[in-house]
Chains A and B, each alone.
Chain A
Amino acid sequence: MTGPAAGFAVRLTGIEKSFGPVRANRGASLAVAPGEIHALVGENGAGKSTLMRVLSGMYAPDAGTMEVDGRDVTGWSTAHAIAAGVGMVHQHFMLVPPLTVAENIVLGREITSHGQLDRAGAERAVAELCARTGLVVAPGRRVADLSVGEAQRVEILKTLYRGAKLLILDEPTAVLSPPEVDELWRVLARMRAGGDTIVLITHKLDEVMEISDAVTVMRHGETVGRVATRETSPAALARMMVGREVALAGAAPLPPAPAHTATSADRPALEVRELTVADPRKARAVDAVSFTLAPGEILGVAGVEGNGQTELVEAIAGLRPARAGAVLLDGRDVTRLTVHERGAAGLSHIPEDRQRRGLVLDYSIADNLVLGQQRLYTRRGALDGARIADNARRRIEQFDIRPGDPAAPARTLSGGNQQKIVVAREMGRDFSVLLAAQPTRGVDVGAIEFIHAQLRAARGAGKAILLVSADLTEILALSDRIAVMYGGRFAAVLPRAMATEEVLGAYMTGAAGQAA
């Protein structure tokens, strides 16, 4: 262990926390020096969020001791944690959309006069806080109208308003565009300069290297080590996280596309013509988007979330009606076909939200492995249990899903293994076009590596893949061509060779170019 020998802002020792049979923390420890930005890294399911919820008082530890500023605070409540200046910004925002920025920030600590909410007073207080911290949001705007980056600023402001001196951020960059990430780093650096302490949960190693002073690595609920950032490297951290050597995304360049593919002479595997998708709030979530996708090609779609990617993918999959335009699979118009018919025509789909769409969480692994193909596993109206079990055995082995018990409910699996069920189902079957939406979101480094290898292998086998991802590293590592989606349109479609993070970043914010 390095770092200051005494005077830690936070010191957690031997933290144990179990949920049912799952031991999320097994003797985990953490030591954070005052005034540092401390990165807490580890694969999904390593116990990072649990440990931080213990620190912020949301969970009481089963065993272990907690010290904040040298004071024993083991098992304190959130109220105590807030009073002591410990605040957590959650991965999923906890804001009330119809209320204004100021109303959200003062919620729970409202400024009142004669039992009435003092709106003007609240807005003044918030404006003053914005000015002091450099986190700028208009206090009078409705949260529902904010961008994701702005909403996150409100979350941080809310925590600071309650007097946080120790700020815990749970994967804050998952939903941000590169310029918004840079802005966040500036804010955090400014807070550090003002003497605040920050714990940053992440599994993006480049972020760790860029912003943090020290790193704690967790694996399987245990703390593997604490190192100073300048004394380590992404490869060394990845090794600590996974416990073995891993190929980081981008480290292995994509082999050149097979010679026969991606030529205009071939009939495209997927063609989208002037596709327009309506949205209840906006007139056009997807605005006349056209593209073609050749066999053996990966088209990456980059973009800040909420620019129409979800709607585009769901319209191609048949989950949303197209208001205008056409979708062609292998030259066949499938615009009017159902989800099931498109699947039968060779369309596979890894949905962006596995917990809501991709899996029935209370169904077993075996039952989830046939979701969407249940008609193929039916005999005279009854599900064919033997074939479903046989399919499960093969997929579990082939895709290394753990635990390997086909009867285990999907809910009990880690995020990475849940995603493996989806990937196994969609890539294990016969398909010609794959829609891969955020295929590695929230999964661990080991599973990312595995899923990327699967996508590359499918490309090599002549499958056409539409890869939608908020992760630029992933887009750059896998794509043959890259489209940037902004405001429901493709702002640019670039060959891989011309795309860099800077170029893509400019298109993602709408700063560069209009419709290509």
Chain B
Amino acid sequence: MNGRLRAQLEETILPPIVALLIAALVGDLLILVYGQSPAAVYRLLIQGTWGNAYGLGQVLYKTTTLTFTGLAVAIGLQAGLFNIGAESQLAAGGFAAGVVGAMLPAGIPSVVLLPLFIAAAAIGGGLVGGAAGALKAKWGAHEVITTIMLNFVVLALLNYLTVAHFKVFDTLHTADIRSGALPRLSAVVPAFHGSAANVVLVLALAAVAAAWWYLYRSRAGYELRAAGLQPGAAEYGGVKVSRVWWQAMLLSGAVAGIGGLNFVLGYKHYYEDSFASGMGFLGIAVALVGRNNPLGVFLAALLFATLSQGGLAVNAVVPKQMVEVLQAVVIIAVATSVPEVRRLLRGARRSAAT
């Protein structure tokens, strides 16, 4: 029993470490190609992210959005669905919150409004995700196709609505939210001054805990994971698999949508066209590297946020695209090292046993 726990721990923790080492090695080679010293570039990367309060604040800000989009993709994958639409779900959630916020009068306390904003963002994202889920449940339309296509439809629609109806003159954003906006972390820790990190981070941590409880402790999660692993067995166990599909997509979209609050409610206090800027797509990588486990998703979000922010920090000496290459290497390394490291671990354990 103890042995199994230890084995599980090893198999969970070692593969990402190996993947990171591989990525670092590839990074070394890339940096050398540019005639720079790897040690210096990595030092710069760390200094620009975890090395100072502003950098760390920016990392935490990106982590917040990535945690939500990563959780959204992970929830879908646990139900056996590949949600490629977190990008537009994130945007729709942010848009809904921004529009609701723009209509509110000043002076209402945040505590009262926060549930309203969460609901608006969840409905915005949930509608987009739920639409893909309903198409799948009702007509069997493949969610990969529908979510990709909905990305185009929804992002174009949001662009139209913003430009035609909601924008402030000469900008691409909605009017300021006058009440209910959330404070930045710099209000608590002044050192974070200037960074976008805000208290939506706390909401992200709560979402991690809630997702973990939902997936692994609730009956709905038991049924959702069963439907993802073996639809035939779930159906046999009295689970309506098609219902699980649309519910999971609804939930997935809602979680991605709430991620929109990070920008709209915590950072700019308005919705701006194309604020999502790839954070939804990066959520797919976050879920993959986090192995669809909520805690893993959070750690992976920290990693990708660090790399993303670190790219800006090292831009002076190497192109920031180099860090994008590194992100891709991490993804590939995780995908291959998980089965490979597990195989090696088991081999080692076996020879130790005999």
Contacts and interface: CB of A to CB of B under 8 A. Distances in A.
Interface string A364-379: 0001000110110110
A416 interface: no
Contact of A375 (B217, B219, B240): B219
Interface string B236-248: 1110100000000
A340 B353 CA distance: 45
A358 B232 CA distance: 8
Nearest to A22: B350
Interface in A354-405: 356-363, 367, 371-372, 374-375, 377-378, 381-383, 385, 405
Nearest to A381: B218
Contacts of A371: 226, 233, 236-237
B237 A374 contact: yes
Given A351-B236, A360-B229, A21 B350 contact: yes
B350 A383 contact: no
A11 interface: no
B219 A357 contact: no
A340 B238 contact: yes
A94 interface: no
Contact of B236 (A372, A375, A381, A405): A372
A268 B353 CA distance: 57
A407 B1 contact: yes
B234 interface: yes
Given A20-B346, A20-B350, A356-B230, A383 B222 contact: yes
A343 B237 CA distance: 9
A20 B238 CA distance: 34
Interface in B208-233: 213, 217-220, 222-223, 225-226, 229-230, 232-233
B220 A356 contact: no
A382 B229 CA distance: 20
A349 B233 CA distance: 12
B235 A339 contact: yes
B231 to A, nearest CB: 9
A18 interface: yes
B6 interface: no
B219 A361 contact: no
B230 A360 contact: yes
Contacts of B4: 405, 407
B237 to A, nearest CB: 4
Interface in B258-311: none
B230 A319 contact: no
B209 to A, nearest CB: 14
Q: B-side binding surface: helix, strand, loop or mixed? A: helix
Contacts of B353: 21
A360 B235 contact: no
A338 interface: yes
A362 B237 contact: no
Contacts of B236: 317, 319, 339, 349, 351, 357-358, 371-372
B218 A405 contact: no
A319 B4 CA distance: 36
Contacts of A340: 238
B260 to A, nearest CB: 27
Given A20-B350, A367-B222, A374-B219, A361 B238 contact: no
Interface string B318-351: 0000000000000000000000000000100110
Interface in B171-190: none
Contacts of A343: 238
Nearest to B214: A381
A381 B219 contact: yes
Contacts of A18: 350
A360 B234 contact: yes
Contacts of A382: 213, 217-219
B151 to A, nearest CB: 31
A372 B56 CA distance: 48
A228 B236 CA distance: 46
A37 to B, nearest CB: 36
B349 to A, nearest CB: 8
A227 to B, nearest CB: 31
Nearest to B353: A21
Contacts of A385: 217
B238 A360 contact: no
Contacts of B225: 360, 363
Nearest to B223: A374
Interface string B1-38: 10010000000000000000000000000000000000
A358 B218 contact: no
A360 B233 contact: yes
B226 A363 contact: yes
B11 to A, nearest CB: 11
Given A319-B236, A338-B238, A356-B232, A383 B226 contact: no
Interface string A339-352: 11001000001010
B353 to A, nearest CB: 8
12 contacts: A21-B350, A21-B353, A339-B235, A343-B238, A361-B230, A374-B219, A374-B238, A375-B219, A378-B219, A381-B218, A381-B219, A383-B222
Interface of A: 18, 20-21, 317, 319, 338-340, 343, 349, 351, 353, 356-363, 367, 371-372, 374-375, 377-378, 381-383, 385, 405, 407
Given A349-B236, A360-B229, A378-B219, 12 more contacts: A20-B350, A21-B349, A21-B350, A338-B238, A351-B236, A367-B222, A372-B237, A374-B223, A374-B237, A382-B213, A382-B218, A383-B222
- The 7 lowest CB-CB distance pairs between A and B, nearest first, are A340-B238, A372-B237, A371-B237, A378-B219, A357-B236, A339-B238, A356-B232
